[in-house]
Amino acid sequence: MAPATLKNIQYQVDGGKARITLNRPEKRNALSIELVEEMRDALWEADNDKSVHCIILSGAGPCFCAGYDLTPERIREDDGVRRREGRGIDDDAWNIERFQRSLRTLWEIHKPTIAQIHGHCLAGGTDLALYCDMLICADNVTFGFPALRNMGAAPNQLWLYNCGPQWTKRLLLTGDTLTGSEAAQIGLVLKAVPESLLENEVEGLADRLCHIDPELLSVNKRSINLGMELMGAMTLQRLAAENDARAHTSRAARDVFKKIATDGLGAALRERDAPFGDGRARVSEPEIRDERGYLTEV
């Protein structure tokens, strides 16, 4: 893959590791269709490269990924082709599935993937990260899906398979967030470490994978993933995409997208999040809040 052709990611292979870096720091690595399709192609290239044992996925700039790109799509030149524009529920589901197929490449490729998460991992960023085989994050990461407060439903549902039904409901029904340390406590990520040690931790795990024959890594990853598929994991992902399209027809979702169009994204998000105070959940202590909705010390 020629680096000159890449506009939204960086891709390199060295010492048995392929590194894919989301490279839209000015947009906090928000997921556009162009980005996820570049990532998809890089993943298949890494999977096809017999020198590669494992793949590290990270983000450039201050955060891993702040979600899906909600800015209006650029205007295409008129080539005479009528394309889906998301105006009907089937069009919406088709476009969600198009995104999810690219993200799901992380699941489908044979070689193991490690998500290296720092800063924020929100909304679509969690969709991306949870398709990885192992997630290692900084302990100060903000991890969650605040968009579910009024924008729709989770378009994939791997939360359930990582942290169980109760924490999945607690977080997705409120849109509240956790720190990286708390995400590790409930099994949403493999481990949380101080941010200064994050890269070293990920590289150390990748080094250990590089001691293993890639074919053995592949068969063991696929055996585990097939076990999850027997538990319905991939069927649920397809249903989740359609469920998100249905959720977009709710009054709350229609209203917020109108507000984004008229008042801008920032104003719409501030109005959505205001009643939730700091927007935090707490894993192991009581949630006692002040009058603003901020957690207080117990």
- Say what percent of the chain tops pLDDT 90: 91
Structure tokens at 73: 């799509």
Cα end-to-end distance, the chain, whole Å: 53
Residue 5's pLDDT is: 85
Closest by alpha carbon to 126, among 143, 138, 142?
Answer: 143
Q: What is the pLDDT of residues 118-169, one digit of tens each?
A: 999 999 999 999 999 999 999 999 999 999 999 999 998 999 999 999 999 9
* Mean pLDDT of the chain, nearest integer: 94
Model confidence at 249, in pLDDT bands (50, 70, 90)? very high
Q: Are 176 and 148 in contact (CB under 8 A)?
A: no
**SS3 for 57?**
strand
Rama region for 258: left / alpha / beta (φ>0; ψ in -120 to 50; rest): alpha
Q: What is the pLDDT of residues 41-52, one digit of tens each?
A: 999 999 999 999
Model confidence at 297, in pLDDT bands (50, 70, 90)? confident
Q: What is the pLDDT of residues 67-98, one digit of tens each?
A: 999 876 554 555 555 555 656 899 999 999 99
Q: Which residues contact 52 (CB under 8 A, 6 or more apart)?
A: 13, 16, 17, 18, 46, 111, 214
In this predicted structure, the answer to whether residue 175 has a pLDDT above a threshold of 60 is yes
Q: What's the whole-number mean pLDDT along residues 219-247?
A: 96
Rama region for 116: left / alpha / beta (φ>0; ψ in -120 to 50; rest): beta
- Residue 8's CB is within 10 A of a number of other CB atoms, namely 18
In this predicted structure, the answer to whether residue 106 has a pLDDT above a threshold of 70 is yes
Q: What's the whole-number mean pLDDT along residues 255-260?
A: 95
In this predicted structure, the answer to whether residue 209 has a pLDDT above a threshold of 70 is yes
Q: How far apart are CA 117 and CA 59, in angstroms?
A: 7
Q: How far apart are CA 276 and CA 295, in angstroms?
A: 10
Model confidence at 113, in pLDDT bands (50, 70, 90)? very high
Structure tokens at 235: 């069927």
Q: Which regions of the chain does DSSP assign to beta strands (E)?
A: 9-14, 17-22, 54-59, 113-117, 120-122, 134-138, 142-144, 177-179, 191-193
Length of the chain measured in residues: 298
In this predicted structure, the answer to whether residue 103 has a pLDDT above a threshold of 70 is yes
Residue 77's pLDDT is: 57
Q: Which CATH superfamily is domain 3-69+84-276 in?
A: 2-enoyl-CoA Hydratase; Chain A, domain 1 (3.90.226.10)
Q: How far apart are CA 109 and CA 89, in angstroms?
A: 30
Q: What is the pLDDT of residues 4-33, one digit of tens each?
A: 689 999 999 999 999 999 999 999 999 999
Q: How far apart are CA 281 and CA 179, in angstroms?
A: 9
143 by Cβ neighbours in 10 Å (0-12 / 13-18 / 19+) ranks as buried
pTM score of the predicted model? 0.93
In this predicted structure, the answer to whether residue 2 has a pLDDT above a threshold of 70 is no
Residue 70's pLDDT is: 86
Please give the C-alpha separations between residue 231 and each of 77, 169, 226, in angstroms, as whole numbers. Answer: 45, 19, 9
Residue 88's pLDDT is: 84
In this predicted structure, the answer to whether residue 170 has a pLDDT above a threshold of 90 is yes
Residue 74's pLDDT is: 52
